[in-house]
Amino acid sequence: MRYRVLGGTGIEVSTYCLGTMMFGAIGNPDHDDCTRIIHAALDAGINFVDTADMYSKGESEEIVGKALQARGDRDDVVLATKVHFPMGEGRNRSGNSRRWIVREVEESLRRLRTDRIDLYQVHRPDPGTDIEETLAVLGDLVRAGKILAFGCSTFPAEELVEAHHVAERRGLPRFRTEQPPYSLLARGIERDVLPTVRRLGMGALTWSPLASGFLTGRYRKNRPIDMGTGRAALMPARFDPALPVNQAKLDAVEELTAVAEGLGRTLPELALAFPLAHPAVTSVIIGPRTLAQLEAALKGADLVLDDAALDRIDAIVPPGTNVYHPDGVWQPRALTEPALRRRPEADRRAAG
């Protein structure tokens, strides 16, 4: 496994990061099996583990905490988690406010069975909280030793720039990393997010390299998709072959599969190698549910995509384009709230 420095922090992390979203009720509820996966990843040289408080409502953090405690080598692991999404019913139990972050970091520390978090990430933007408020509390947690560095996830480029300028103007610590979705089928961040990350000296930890399963080779054109099980049952709009967007994904998969076969590799191996070829990407988050899936990902770790292979990929999915929208969890208010993009009716006409 190779290692890269994380966003100017001096912390070296493996180019594969073990993502644990599938550990717990939402994916693999067998804690012992998940522990074996974590230990196998560490044995393979992965030193970077990413989770979040909301993954299976805290269960993923609990699994990671138990697994690392059992190993007894916490100091050798760069541990990352996130905060933002609701954790339980009631007000003030989500978001990026000082009130919530101060409370929830303690819960994450407890579940993870550790005294510090190496990388604490704001899981999504929060329009109800000033970015200065968020940066200030994260800086306080660094000074308290509860977190060592902090970053963000799925922030648009303009919010990364705003956060950077606020930090400079107010003398606050800044986001060191951004965690965006990035895959062969979702290249939109090449237009703005990844260039911004490089310009600001941040690290990029990319997620969903297999495009919610579409790049596993399991879903192929003119083959039936079982809509009653797995991810297709949980997210039918992403898999229903009757929808044009999913037909476009299947069309691209056929062409990308041919690229992989031309290299003598599998489609998942091609998919995991692709993000690492971008100079802004520090580490790619792999999210296995089973030990076999981890082993398959590790098998392709030696694949290097040359310029000819990348040119073929560019011809199938042009740089900076998305075949589908990769983040179905969050949308900016400018898109979800019509009032933010519609003037009052009396003020819409061109004539006075």
For residues 7 and 164, give the distance between their C-alpha atoms in angstroms, rounded to a whole number: 13
8 Å CB contact between 53 and 83: yes
For residues 294 and 92, give the distance between their C-alpha atoms in angstroms, rounded to a whole number: 37
8 Å CB contact between 272 and 297: yes
Residue ranges of E strands in the chain:
3-5, 12-14, 16-19, 48-50, 78-83, 117-122, 147-153, 177-179, 203-206, 281-286
For residues 51 and 263, give the distance between their C-alpha atoms in angstroms, rounded to a whole number: 33
Q: Which is catalytic among the residues 55, 182, 219, 324?
A: 55
Nearest to 283 by CA among 117, 48, 54, 76: 48
Helix, strand or coil, per DSSP, at residue 229: coil
120 is catalytic: no
Q: What is the largest CA-CA distance in the chain?
A: 73
Residue entry with tokens 């476009």: 248
Catalytic residues: 55
